[in-house]
Amino acid sequence: MTQHTRPLTRQDYKTLTLAALGGALEFYDFIIFVFFAATVGALFFPADIPEWLRQAQTFGIFAAGYLARPLGGVVMAHFGDKAGRKKMFTLSILMMALPTLAIGLLPTYATLGIAAPLLLLLLRIMQGAAIGGEVPGAWVFVAEHVPAQRTGIACGTLTAGLTVGILLGSLVATLLNTVLTQQTILEGGWRIPFLLGGAFGLVAMYLRRWLQETPVFVEMQKRKQLAGEIPVKAVVRDHKASVAMSVLLTWLLSAGIVVVILMAPVWLQTQFGMAPALTLQANSVAIIMLCFGCLLAGLSADRFGAGNTFIAGSLLMALFTWLFYHYAASSTGALFVFYGLAGLCVGVVGAVPFVMVHAFPAAVRFSGLSFSYNVSYAIFGGMTPIVVTLMLRFSPYAPAWYVLALALMGVILGFWLRAGLHGQKQSARAMWVSELGQ
């Protein structure tokens, strides 16, 4: 039985588990900041400045993490294509764990003055650089480890793991706000989630020591087929269509996650006056269903191809997110049911990395995926909240219209995949066989 047709082995499952665990913890480290943004703003900026300015500065520091993603991702991907996937995969989690730990220990404005927010900004930039390398690196790492017929479920599993990181951040924030008073949180309770995240990240880094370099990279080393020039230069020059496809798919991914998962609870609170606790509970259900949706999308990509998966999945996402935004406020039951179904259908984004890892040849795969993903996320992930907020001036259902437009784009991309890649599953299998010399 050849490499590309064999079943998943114990080592494959170990690789997937450790990769998903590390990805979840690293995404937790990156996202936990937003759950404590108000507290951080109160502690790291002068008390006598206007509230709007404090919020703007706090979210500016949060946004700095997104802006740092492309640079960090491209640099780490460069060495991932040159020196090995495993080295960068391990380095990225260390680069995330240490700044997160440092934030938990950082003195506030009352102690350090203006140096406090500046140090916070620096640490946030380091976090952004780390996540920019972690997500693409993890997708490449698991995809190159498993058989070609299982790359979809591998990428879907990892994407579900990243989603678990968001859920973990939400649960930790909810728990701390439940058991601690607001004064206790201000006095030091806010440090707990950052210290936990840093410690867990170091544990995950230690566990990654047991991972092995990908067979694809090892084979390229043996054949001396590593990129002979700067990988990202070759990506921009020779793989424009792949970059375009990957950028648009990442836009779809960011729209689903940012609008439906991250922004919807606040939308429900402001538009319908729902209690924060209720919206967060429904949000947790949606995130759990999103995890299952990512797994189903990965399985579907393996079985039916990426094109068919995006056509069907995007149509379902359009339908159920529309129903969620229009009927979730009708009753508590409707809120949980429609939010859960919307989360499940947003899970079509679990097939995004399946396309992206196959869009670039192995010698520049890490760089191609990282460049496309991080540039797209920095632009569209950062602009989406602003665009949707501006659209709310014209319609309370602006988020639904935005997701509907992106879902229609997903359908178009699905037909592009079917027409241009002649069946993603078959082309992926052929590429894997070629790279492994089978």
pLDDT one-digit tens code per residue, 66-115: 777 777 777 777 676 666 667 777 777 888 889 899 999 999 888 888 89
Please tell me which residue, 293 or 221, carries the higher pLDDT value: 293
- Ranking 139-143, 193-197, 237-241, 382-386 by mean pLDDT, the lowest is 382-386
Residue 435 has pLDDT above 50, yes or no: no
Per-residue pLDDT at 363: 79
Tell me the average pLDDT of the chain.
82
Domains belonging to the chain, first-starting first, are 10-436 (1.20.1250.20)
Are the CB atoms for 274 and 129 separated by under 8 Å? no
Per-residue pLDDT at 438: 35
Residue 268 has pLDDT above 60, yes or no: yes
Distance CA 157, CA 164 (A): 11
Please tell me which residue, 14 or 313, carries the higher pLDDT value: 313
Please tell me which residue, 257 or 65, carries the higher pLDDT value: 257
Please tell me which residue, 319 or 94, carries the higher pLDDT value: 319
Are the CB atoms for 243 and 360 separated by under 8 Å? no
Share of the chain above pLDDT 70, in %: 85
Share of the chain above pLDDT 90, in %: 25
Are the CB atoms for 400 and 239 separated by under 8 Å? no
**Residue 417, both tokens:** 């995949």
Position 150: which residue type?
A: R
Per-residue pLDDT at 423: 40
Per-residue pLDDT at 227: 56
Residue 286 has pLDDT above 90, yes or no: yes
Mean of the pLDDT values across residues 167-183? 84
Residue 53 has pLDDT above 60, yes or no: yes
Per-residue pLDDT at 224: 55
| Residue 116, phi then psi, degrees to nearest 5 | -65, -55
Mean of the pLDDT values across residues 354-377? 86
Q: Is the dihedral of CA 132, 370, 141, 428 positive or negative?
A: positive
pLDDT one-digit tens code per residue, 269-283: 888 888 877 888 898
Residue with tokens 């498993």: 146
Residue 128 has pLDDT above 70, yes or no: yes
Per-residue pLDDT at 338: 96
Per-residue pLDDT at 59: 66
